[in-house]
A and B are shown apart, each in its own frame.
Chain A
Amino acid sequence: SAVISQKPSRDICQRGTSLTIQCQVDSQVTMMFWYRQQPGQSLTLIATANQGSEATYESGFVIDKFPISRPNLTFSTLTVSNMSPEDSSIYLCSVGLGKTGNTIYFGEGSWLTVV
């Protein structure tokens, strides 16, 4: 399977600041997905990032809070803006790989704690 790298793996952030998470894939993919996992919860999709177009956000998530970049077919960033303690979560990127692109793999995750 491809390597999907996320940075940072873990960070402690001050309230009111912003942090950008990077996701790098070692093969070209059309779609990249950003998920949030709040403590003790399951995963929820934040947005889908398609190269060359604006990201598509799920209900409850807005671009001002979670701006996404997708400059090429192997890279994406998710910024968590103006953070509050409620943003303390694991943020994961995922991509579809394999012959049909329908096998979904995840990066290692970025565990953010907002204090």
Chain B
Amino acid sequence: AQTVTQSQPEMSVQEAETVTLSCTYDTSENNYYLFWYKQPPSRQMILVIRQEAYKQQNATENRFSVNFQKAAKSFSLKISDSQLGDTAMYFCAFMKPQGGAQKLVFGQGTRLTINP
């Protein structure tokens, strides 16, 4: 069974700084997807970024980028020029596709606080 580990329960940085959230996973699969989700106090799960395992290029979405190290089974999220609105819980998730969407396996989350 796949497992996802987020080793940082909480992080705190100053506004405009860069912050990196860690995620490692365990799988014997070769083809899979990895996700980062943001959950603000509203509790909605918002997709931040997605990475396909067969793509070597790291995914980027504006201020958000990932460092995907397939051999090391590591999938960290970098937030550049952090903003107060980035304050949220961040969850890393793994999915093994089988002819379409399948269930996500989540890490325990990292609570990120951006301080003014």
Contacts and interface: CB of A to CB of B under 8 A. Distances in A.
Interface in A41-81: 41-45, 48, 58
Interface stretch (B12-20, B69-77, B94-102): B94-102
Interface residues of B, number: 24
A105 B47 contact: yes
Contacts of B47: 1, 103-106
Contacts of B104: 33, 35, 43, 45, 94, 104
A103 B50 contact: yes
A102 B101 contact: yes
B45 interface: yes
B109 A42 contact: yes
A104 B44 contact: no
Nearest to B45: A106
Among A29, A42, A90, max chain B CB count under 10 A is at A42
Nearest to A40: B109
Interface of B: 33, 35, 37, 42-47, 50, 52, 91, 93, 95, 97, 100-104, 106-109
13 contacts: A30-B101, A31-B101, A31-B102, A42-B91, A42-B106, A44-B106, A45-B103, A92-B45, A100-B100, A101-B101, A102-B97, A105-B47, A109-B44
B108 A95 contact: no
A101 B37 CA distance: 17
Nearest to A48: B103
A1 B91 CA distance: 20
Contacts of B106: 42-44
Contacts of A101: 100-101
Contact of B43 (A1, A48, A90, A96): A90
A55 to B, nearest CB: 12
A15 B33 CA distance: 39
A111 B47 CA distance: 19
Contacts of A105: 47
B87 to A, nearest CB: 17
Please indicate which of the listed interface residues A37, A43, A44, A100 has the most CB atoms of chain B within 10 Å of its own CB: A43
A45 B107 CA distance: 13
